[in-house]
Structure 1
Amino acid sequence: MLKGDERLDYLLAENLRIIQSPSVFSFSIDAVLLANFVHVPIQKGNIIDLCSGNGIVPLLLSKRTNADILGIEIQERLYDMAVRSVEYNGLNDRIQFLKGDIKEIPALLGRGKHDVVTCNPPYFKTPQKEQINPNEYLAIARHELLCTLEDVISVTAALLKQGGKAAFVHRPGRLIEIVTLMKKYQLEPKKMRLVYPRMGKEANILLIEGIKNGKPDLRVLPPLYIFEEGNYTEEVQEMLYGK
């Protein structure tokens, strides 16, 4: 079941287990925030998670929806971890994974057929070679080596039905670029939330959701704080550990 330095971790709030590896990939709180933020259909529909890593977002979404979920991951090792995690949790009937380049997915699956697309993409533009993480898995996850922000947003728009929802988690420093690209590809920003490490600190995570060909009207939700007096805030504790 487990390979090399892999471990089986609990997703406590959801009573699930996930395969992780410190040398390959471990999910961050960003993925948990995205899975809680996005609006998903409760009973049926088609959801795609781009840049799926070890499958954390599809696993978390499976507790919020009965829709079919497909994760796309380009790295063989992460894809393999995701597939085995889904098998372990007995969710093969609802979650599938596809190994491939997101840029090829619209041609493969068809355009305008999906209800929701989520993505926790690489956050950083490709730096000088000497600045890239020597760990290839981490470098690809963090830097735009295999896909750019524009790739992510254009592919998302291509996959979505009219009125379908797109949700991204990213860094606040790229907000203007994200909104500009969403508008370029007819994904109208409709909901946004900034996440702060704690009160008094600058925001370090951006959550944003758009609707394919929606009408302009952006809601900015109350701020979300991760820590308060050294502990997770009540809202974050609920996401991680349940009520």
Structure 2
Amino acid sequence: MVELKEDERLDYLLAENLRIIQSPSVFAFSLDAVLLSRFVYVPIQKGELLDLCSGNGVIPLFLSTRSKGRITGVEIQERLYSMAERSIHYNDLDNRVKMVLGDINDMPKKLGYGKFDVVTCNPPYFKTPPEGEINENEHFAIARHEILCTLEDTIRVSAAMARASGKVAFVHRPERLIEIIELMRKYRLEPKRVQFVHPKVGKEANTLLIEATKGGQPGLKVLPAIIVYNEENEYTPELREILYGRN
């Protein structure tokens, strides 16, 4: 059994044999989280994995199906942290996955510098707008806008916590690609793989996946684009496999 609060519900994690607590008024994971958890390199047998800006713990849960290593998620909003904790317990993953409540800027001192083999982050995508334009729902506003952490914060902290030659992977918006690369290099993260996600063939990319190596040598690979929908507005075969696994 699992305790559900207010408008929370227990959803299936698509291709995985897992369940996750979600809420339409607080947080529900998006395709971006699925794509990042599939894109990033992970050690299969062991290792230390870290997910920043974890929300309801969706990326740590996805990563638990790809790696037998230990996974730590960090979330600043107490309600989302609680949802993640209960989902982890419900899926009997307490021995491998844990959540930490707090500001990511405090995590290097709290969890350790240069400790993690892999760091992932699905950060707020947008700079904070004028007060009147911010979403009235505090949970949504914090998740979408750089209110409690900036892009530079997330990259600086990721670099501080990744070990030498460790991987750091982000999902973000293509219009901020140059800024992301500049910040990664500022903190000794060398971009090595990038992949663009397009809603349809012929449409501009609206999502970016990027992975860097701490202290790596220059050499960027641009992977084939992911197309989400076909002309009939149905998921493409590639996207169906990402979401639901092989039939």
Report the TM-score when normalising by structure 2.
0.98
2:125 and 2:12 map into 1 onto residues whose CA distance is 26
Alignment of 1:85-96 (within 5 A): 85-96=87-98
**Pick aligned residue for 1:117 from 112, 116, 119:** 119
SS in 2 for 1:14: coil
Q: Which residue in 2 is equivalent to 1:76?
A: 78
State the Cα distance separating 1:241 from its structure 2 match. 1.2
Q: Which residue in 2 is equivalent to 1:219?
A: 221
Give the partner amino acid of 1:202.
E
**Pick aligned residue for 1:106 from 101, 105, 108:** 108
2:55 and 2:14 map into 1 onto residues whose CA distance is 19
5+ unaligned residues in a row in structure 2: which ranges?
none
SS in 2 for 1:169: strand
Give the partner amino acid of 1:230.
N
Runs of 4+ in 1 over 4 A off after TM superposition: none
Task: Write the deviation string for residues 192-225 of structure 1: whole angstroms up to 9, x where unpaired.
Answer: 0000001010000000000000000000000100
SS in 2 for 1:191: strand
| 1:140 matched to 2:142 | yes
1:202 and 1:5 map into 2 onto residues whose CA distance is 36
Q: Which residue in 2 is equivalent to 1:189?
A: 191
Q: Which residue in 1 is equivalent to 2:8?
A: 6
Alignment of 1:172-187 (within 5 A): 172-187=174-189
Q: Which residue in 2 is equivalent to 1:199?
A: 201
Alignment size in residue pairs: 243
SS in 1 for 2:15: helix
2:84 and 2:242 map into 1 onto residues whose CA distance is 21
1:233 and 1:225 map into 2 onto residues whose CA distance is 7
Give the partner amino acid of 2:197.
V
State the Cα distance separating 1:117 from its structure 2 match. 0.3
2:21 and 2:234 map into 1 onto residues whose CA distance is 26
Report the TM-score when normalising by structure 1.
0.99
**Pick aligned residue for 2:243 from 231, 240, 243:** 240
State the Cα distance separating 1:12 from its structure 2 match. 2.2
2:168 and 2:88 map into 1 onto residues whose CA distance is 23
2:93 and 2:239 map into 1 onto residues whose CA distance is 25
1:62 and 1:111 map into 2 onto residues whose CA distance is 23
State the Cα distance separating 1:184 from its structure 2 match. 0.3
**Pick aligned residue for 1:41 from 34, 43, 48:** 43
State the Cα distance separating 1:109 from its structure 2 match. 1.3
**Pick aligned residue for 1:231 from 231, 234, 246:** 234
CA RMSD for the aligned pairs?
A: 0.5
Percent of aligned positions that are identical: 64
1:172 and 1:230 map into 2 onto residues whose CA distance is 22
1:109 and 1:242 map into 2 onto residues whose CA distance is 34
Give the partner amino acid of 1:47.
L
Give the partner amino acid of 2:108.
P
